[in-house]
Structure 1
Amino acid sequence: MTTDGTTGERSGGPAALPYREVTDARGRTFRVGETAHSLLGMGRAWMVWLPWIAMMGVSVFEYGFSSAEDTLQHVHGWTLTESFWIASIWAVFQAGVAFPAGRLREKDVLSARTCMLLGAVLAGIGFASLAEVSNYVLAMIGYSVLGGAGAGLVYATCINMVGKWYPENRGARTGFVNGGFAYGTLPLIFVFSYWFHPSDFRVVLNVIALGMLVVVGVSGFFFKDPPKNWWPDDVDPLNRGRSVSDARAARRMEKNPPAMRQFTPKEAIKTGQLPLMWVALVCIGGVSLFGINFQVPFAKSLGFGPLVAASSAGVLAVVNGVGRAAVGWLSDYLGRRTTLVLVLLVAAGAQVGVLWSGQAHNEPFFLIFAFINGFGGGAFYPLFAALVPDYFGENNNAQNYGLVYSAKLVGGVGGGGLAASVISAWGYSGGYYLAFGIALLSALLALCLRQPGAPRGKRSPARALAGSKTA
């Protein structure tokens, strides 16, 4: 559609449009003039708070399972390896649904609201199946397949929603929403550690499933995507510093400039950067899930009491979540790639720290390194989520991030079922040293990331956009 750059009127017609489209010197188009309230009926901050609440609603899938697995093994007769294969296949479907759901969403086959409501139903069914089904195959279908797909729909929709509504400041807000996926499960970790027994496990699991259905369903009912190329009306996309808020946005975009153009999934793959992100996320995603799945069993194997075991899991979940928000904010000012490399190095060091402090039976240091492991083991997720639209644009972000996030398909298997096999063969020492090496590899890969089409050298986006024009 052609629009007048000043009045926003249709070419050849009198009907005034509520927006205008401006184009920078490289051809990147921005749709400006529409307020979030005119599009949503409420402020765009709701597209942070509601996804955050929904993410907390499904967080127990990933961060609570290890605390519940002892009782589940006992009542269902599963081995340690069998129970963690359930967690691994859950991660496969949770990550695998992101790309096809994103494609259907961006083709207008599914709306964001529909994805959330469907996710709420599937997630509820998945968690209830742990209570009602002892057959291993049926439990795998219910929890891992249906529950994983439901949690994946919620996760992917929430993360993409924030990036679309905050294209100029996505780091901090994406990190905040992503954090809910970790610390939201904190109360349930202690429930599983102290009040989750064979006598009452069905009641506990069914109540959690019902709460998940209600929280996610109600939050998701209000979800709505912005139009393609939408940009907030109070921020100058050409970095001309029209106001104080524009000046702050310009400083953030100096470190994280908008994508050079809108890349389709095929185009993003051809740049080589999306595959590089995928491999890096495979590596660190497996390390993260290894820590989530095995920190409590490791603590128990050392003879630490249930308070230390539960506290280490609780610390991991809280710091994992708070760390996501913190690094999201930090990346707005230090740069996304620089922050990502630092986080990956911290994650690598934490693996050795948890192992050494545990083997030394030093409970205070074990909790400290659980703190560090929690930070490094989750803070990378919002950074990848923000890097994808930074590199490839917002219009196809649901698909592009879905492709990158599919790395968890491989990482989930490595951090769950395969890791259980490694520990059975090599012990916890072998498992933690292997995780250390893999995390280092991920940091090296992240160092190679470059924004596609960006000019070489240090050039200010404001200067690069000098001479920009309105379409």
Structure 2
Amino acid sequence: MGRKRKWMVILPWIGMMGISSAEYAFASAEETLHIAHSWSSLHIFWMLGVWVFFQAAVAFPAGKLRESGRLPARWAMMLGALGTLIGYVSLAFAPHVVVAYIGFGAFSGMGAGLVYATCVNMVAKWYPERKGGKTGFVNGGFAYGSVPFVFLFTGYMDLTNFRWVLVAVGVFLAGVVAVSGYFFKDPPKNWWPADVDPLHVPDDPRTRRALKMNPPAVRQYTPREAWRTGRVALMWFCLMCTSGVNIFGIAFQVEIGQEAGFAGGIVATAMSLKAIVNGTGRGVIGWLSDRYGRKRCLIFVCIVLGLSQYGILWSANEQSLLFFLIFSSISGFGGGAIFPMFAAMTADYFGENNNASNYGLVYSSKLVSGLAGSGMGAVVVANWGHGGAFTLAGSISLFAAFVALFLTQPGRTKTGEPTAPVPMAQGSD
């Protein structure tokens, strides 16, 4: 590349921040959009669900195009920037809610999916020996990049300025994505750092511990082979449950806070704390997973995410502002930490060469969880109230923790030894 590989952490991190506000700050703009366009709240929550649907839907085909060489990383990012701009412009000027569904839900969602898949898989390819912490750091940009826009949409945007605010945000964020993506470059196939041999014990104690706790895949699995192991289906189900709970919290935490009587600024602060902890938690849990193992950390965050839903409900019912902020932050940690776990675990289980496609299979679970967490979440809230909805969300996440107990790396025995001879790695410089 002509530069240090740490740039393939910094630049994807910036790119991820450029798409984060579409998901994590969208609920903060709900009231203004509802009044300005006369769109029902149900339409707006379903719009977020459609956005998540298309963001997830593009992951697998984008991965196949990227790995075939037909879609270079730079062009994937440029298309993502265009989708980001179209999304915000459509929210500002859509003459009908259907146009917003298409512009924001479909085009912005697909653009974000291209950026997300490209950034996450880029860092995993450049850091195959210690991917947990680096993947978590990059993944974190998808959350805390939204913090300024939560306050902007809640405290500044109103009926007199919403159009130019949305357009200005769209232009700025599209520029962030495009500029960072211009410098993207993939490593060669089978690339590992010259000083790390995946078939032998490394000298660096950090790398040695990371590879001991999360041994590399025994071989490079194609998507079809990965699916046949049965692990993809388990990971898909766990991510569907936990990401659905995460999206539900993003969509309805503002609403339950307002119902509890907390002021709008307090609710915005709670959402910002959720986003900050969501983002930083991804980096922290990624680092911890390098030390203690991906599976252990995944089970832990599923439990944390589930219990925090009960905490949010309890604190809102008790009108306890302090505990509402605390449990919102804990929920943000759990909801964010699940994503780098699955991203790194996919590469650990199935190898780096087809990681974009394999993770696209796992990440496609958001096709369901996005619609369930936001759209169906609105239906559950309407029928069961916030009490029933948050209780159900917490229970779903705890069940995902139980399912995660059955995840094991394919091709290895219980002691961690390969069940067959490991093919020699190629192109290790």
TM-score, structure 1 normalization: 0.88
What is aligned with 1:109? 70
CA–CA distance in structure 2, aligned partners of residues 47 and 229 of structure 1? 17
- Distance (whole Å) between structure 1 residues aligned to residue 348 and residue 16 of structure 2: 23
Q: Deviations over 1:309-332 (max 9, x none)?
A: 101100100000010000000000
**Is it true that 1:389 corresponds to 2:347 in the alignment?**
yes
In structure 2, distance between residues paired with 1:415 and 1:305: 25
Higher helix residue share: 2
Q: Deviations over 1:182-233 (max 9, x none)?
A: 0011011011111010100011100110011111001001111111101011
Task: Give the letter for the 1:124 counterpart.
Answer: L
Give, in whole Å, the separation in 2 of the partners of 1:52 and 1:470: 28
| Residue equivalent to 1:358 | 316
What are the residue-to-residue correspondences of 1:14-163 with 2, within 5 Å?
40-163=1-124
Q: How many angstroms does 1:248 deviate by?
A: 2.5
SS in 2 for 1:436: helix
Q: Which residue of 2 aligns with 1:239?
A: 200
- Distance across 1 between alignment mates of 2:107 and 2:28: 21
Tell me, in whole angstroms, the C-alpha distance in 1 between the residues paired with 2:335 and 2:256: 16
Contact 1:239 1:250 in 2 (8 A): no
Describe the superposition over 1:345-393 as per-residue Cα deviations: whole angstroms up to 9, x where unpaired: 0001000000000000010111011111111111110000000010000
Query: Within 5 Å, which residues of 2 pair with 1:156-235?
Result: 156-235=117-196
The one-letter code matched in structure 2 to 1:240 is V
> Which residue number in structure 2 is paired with residue 374 of structure 1?
332
Q: Which residue of 2 aligns with 1:311?
A: 269
> Quick one: distance in 2 between partners of 1:144 and 1:470?
42
Amino acid at match of 1:139: A
Structure number, greater radius of gyration: 1
Q: In 1, distance between residues paired with 2:194 and 2:18?
A: 32
Q: Secondary structure in 1 aligned to 2:170?
A: helix
- Find the counterpart in structure 2 of residue 7 from structure 1: none
Give the direction of change, closer, same or farther, for the CA distance of 1:82–1:469 in structure 2 (3 Å limit).
Answer: closer
**Following the alignment from structure 1 to structure 2, what is the Cα–Cα distance between the partners of residues 264 and 109?**
18
From the superposition, tell whether residues 395 and 422 of structure 1 become closer, same or farther in structure 2 (CA, over 3 Å). same
Distance 2:318 2:425 in 1: 64
Alpha-carbon deviation of 1:457?
A: 2.4
Taking the aligned partners of 1:349 and 1:190, their CA distance within structure 2 comes to 27
Q: Aligned pair 1:408/2:366, yes or no?
A: yes
Paired position in structure 1 for 2:299:
341
Residue 54 of structure 1 deviates from its aligned partner by: 0.7
Matching residue's letter, 1:452: P
Could you list the runs of 5+ residues in structure 1 that have no partner in the other structure? Answer: 1-39
Write the mapping of 1:441-452 to structure 2, written as runs, cut at 5 A: 441-452=399-410
Distance in structure 2 (CA, Å) of the matches to 1:382 and 1:195: 33
Aligned to 1:273: 231
Distance 2:85 2:424 in 1: 50
The 8 Å contact of residues 238 and 465 in structure 1, kept in 2 or not, is answered as no
CA contact (8 A) 1:99 1:406 kept: yes
* Percent identity of equivalent pairs: 51
Structure 2 residue aligned with 1:32: none
CA distance in 1, matches of 2:424, 2:64: 32
Q: Matches of 2:357 and 2:424 in 1, distance apart?
A: 29
Distance 2:157 2:169 in 1: 12
CA distance in 1: counterparts of 2:6 and 2:380, whole angstroms: 45
The answer to whether structure 1 residue 423 and structure 2 residue 381 are counterparts is yes
Question: 1: CA distance between counterparts of 2:372 and 2:425?
Answer: 50
> Residue deviations 1:210-264, cap 9 Å, x none?
01111100100111111110101122222333x4x3x321211000000010000
The alpha-carbon distance between structure 1 residues 468 and 54, as it changes in their structure 2 partners (threshold 3 A), is closer
Q: Write the distance in 1 (CA, Å) between the matches of 2:187 and 2:423.
A: 28
Superposed CA deviations along residues 255-290 of structure 1, whole A, max 9, x for unmatched, are 000001000000000000011100111111100000
SS at match of 2:336: coil
1:186–1:314 Cα contact (<8 Å) kept: yes
C-alpha contact 2:49 2:373 (8 A) present in aligned 1: yes
Q: Partner amino acid for 2:156?
A: W
CA distance in 2 between partners of 1:86 and 1:248 (Å): 44
| Structure 2, unpaired ranges of 5+ | none
> So what's the TM-score if we normalise by structure 2?
0.97
Q: What letter is aligned with 2:238?
A: A
User: How far off is 1:458 after superposition?
Assistant: 5.2
Post-superposition offset of 1:128: 1.4
Residue 283 of structure 2 is aligned to residue 325 of structure 1: yes
Q: What is the alpha-carbon root mean square deviation over aligned residues?
A: 1.6
Contact 1:290/1:419 (8 A) holds in 2: yes
Structure 1 Cα separation of the partners of residues 66 and 126 of structure 2: 16
Structure 2 Cα separation of the partners of residues 240 and 411 of structure 1: 40
